[in-house]
Amino acid sequence: MVSRRGAGRLGCLLGVLLIVTALYFGANIGEVFLRYYRFRDVMQQEARFADVRPDSAIRNRLRASADSLGLPEDAGRVSIQRAQNSVIITSSYAELVELPLFVREFRFSPRVERTF
């Protein structure tokens, strides 16, 4: 029989603990970006139908989407600019993520442009 050293067990446990910690806090940050991409997707969908929907309907839908996604109230304040055959929809908001020992603020400014 070959004897095995038991020194690797603590190192493995520490490595697993670091990976689990990174995944936990990475998931918190990832959730913030996932909500941003979902909101931007809703903005793109509204821009697709902007030629047949009034600005008030677009604003109401985006406000409702921001609320259902759990975004800050500022995300629901959208700006809609129309030109002869195009529309630009923008928004701006910030989200806070609590990490150990500090709080990080992420600022987002989704912008969607579509020409008809």
38 pLDDT tier (thresholds 50, 70, 90): very high
Percent of the chain exceeding pLDDT 90 equals: 64
Buried/exposed 68-89: b ≥16 CB within 10 Å, e otherwise: eeebeeebbebebeeeeeebbb
Rounded mean pLDDT of 3-7?
56
> What are the tokens at 36?
């941003």
Does 3 fall in a domain?
A: no
Token representation of residue 105:
């603020």
Structural domain contains residue 110: yes
Domain count, the chain: 1
Answer yes or no: is 1 within a domain: no
User: Domain range spanning residue 25?
Assistant: 8-115
Sort strands 93-99 and 102-108 into parallel, antiparallel or unpaired: antiparallel
pLDDT digits (tens, 9 = 90+) for 44-88: 999 999 999 999 999 999 999 999 999 999 999 999 999 989 999
Residue 6's pLDDT band (boundaries 50, 70, 90)? Answer: low
